[in-house]
Amino acid sequence: MIKIPPYLKKGDTIGITCPAGYTVKSKADTCIKTLQQWGFDVMVGKTLGSDSDNYFSGTDEQRLNELQAMLDDESINAILCGRGGYGVGRIIDQLDFTKFKRKPKWIIGFSDITVLHAHLNSKIKVASLHAPMASAFNNEKEFIESLHKALIGKKAKYNCAIDPLNKIGTATGELIGGNLSLLVNVIGTPSDINTKNKILFVEDIAEYIYGVDRMFYQLKRSGKLDQLKGLIIGGFTEMKDTERPFGKTVYEAISDIVKEYDYPVCYNFPVSHDTANYALKEGGIYTLKVTKKAVTLSE
């Protein structure tokens, strides 16, 4: 069973850290002000706007130590990642979750933070939040507010526009997923996810269409698609094609790969690297309902 961390109340503290790529501190200004308006205290780690001179927000050791300290600090009630990029996979195996398992807290982020979500779900058995990060609080208010509601324990119900590629049906199960390239990257590692009887959601950015096709075949060949309850295809932003065209859109490529399965599938759900990015509880129980007229995902 997945353990659900305590929901937050006014006066609780949210720590901000950057366990992967670098971001300037000013990009988190809107986030910090918003969290304070919600009634939370904010503790900003040194990796946000650090003096790093390369891609990462700090050395592996610096990023590891700061995240470890926030995991262990009982005065911090949730951890919000500043940005994704790349880097969590370099430190995930050195993290000690002993104290965290005794007193879990919400860990929030998307993109490269998918590695952390997958590890928490498969190894630690604690729910987490796939949601806007500190550098993304300039997104549309509706999606930022979805994080607020998730943090204080309000049940989510999201709607999605219909798509001609959708597969009709209803499914209830544990929700898991995130960035497609990272989900594929953790296959065969200690952070590998178990998808049996679960609703899987995926999104990605700046990939070639053939690359998404390849990654979906890896999911298929590794058995990750065989026993799903449902599949949610989120936004695939800034997609690229080869000089000689692949011949299909990214959604058409995915549809061809999953057409043999009888579970519901929806496309263009508002979870993405773009502004449309609803907060989703990894490990939470949801019902996906896909009809000819509407698509809903209800916690």
In this predicted model, what pLDDT tens digit does every residue of 100-118 receive, in sequence order? Answer: 999 999 999 999 999 999 9
* Residue 179 covered by a domain: yes
> In the chain, how many domains are there?
2
In this predicted model, what pLDDT tens digit does every residue of 53-73 receive, in sequence order? Answer: 999 999 999 999 999 999 999
Q: Quick one: 220 and 282 in the same domain?
A: yes
* Residue 1 covered by a domain: no
In this predicted model, what pLDDT tens digit does every residue of 68-99 receive, in sequence order? Answer: 999 999 999 999 999 999 999 999 999 999 99
What pLDDT does residue 238 have?
97
Q: How far is residue 82's CA from residue 189's CA, in Å, rounded to a whole number?
A: 25
Q: Quick one: 223 and 287 in the same domain?
A: yes
Q: Quick one: 25 and 146 in the same domain?
A: yes
What pLDDT does residue 65 have?
98
pTM score of the predicted model: 0.97
* Residue 228 covered by a domain: yes
Task: Domain of residue 53: give its range.
Answer: 13-151
Q: What is the mean pLDDT of residues 176-182?
A: 98
User: Is residue 194 scored above 80 in pLDDT?
Assistant: yes
What pLDDT does residue 174 have?
98
Check: CB of residue 116 under 8 Å from CB of residue 88: yes
In which band, very low, low, confident or very high, does the pLDDT at 154 lie, cut at 50, 70 and 90?
very high
In this predicted model, what pLDDT tens digit does every residue of 156-174 receive, in sequence order? Answer: 999 999 999 999 999 999 9
The amino acid that residue 213 corresponds to is D
* Residue 3 covered by a domain: no
In this predicted model, what pLDDT tens digit does every residue of 15-55 receive, in sequence order? Answer: 999 999 999 999 999 999 999 999 999 999 999 999 999 99
What pLDDT does residue 226 have?
98
With 0-12 / 13-18 / 19 or more C-beta atoms within 10 angstroms meaning exposed / middle / buried, residue 296 is middle
* Residue 147 covered by a domain: yes
Calculated CA dihedral for residues 86, 88, 90, 92, nearest 10 degrees: -170
What pLDDT does residue 82 have?
97
Q: Quick one: 136 and 72 in the same domain?
A: yes
In which band, very low, low, confident or very high, does the pLDDT at 138 lie, cut at 50, 70 and 90?
confident
Q: Which CATH number goes with the domain that contains 260?
A: 3.50.30.60
Mean pLDDT value across the chain: 97
Q: Quick one: 166 and 81 in the same domain?
A: no
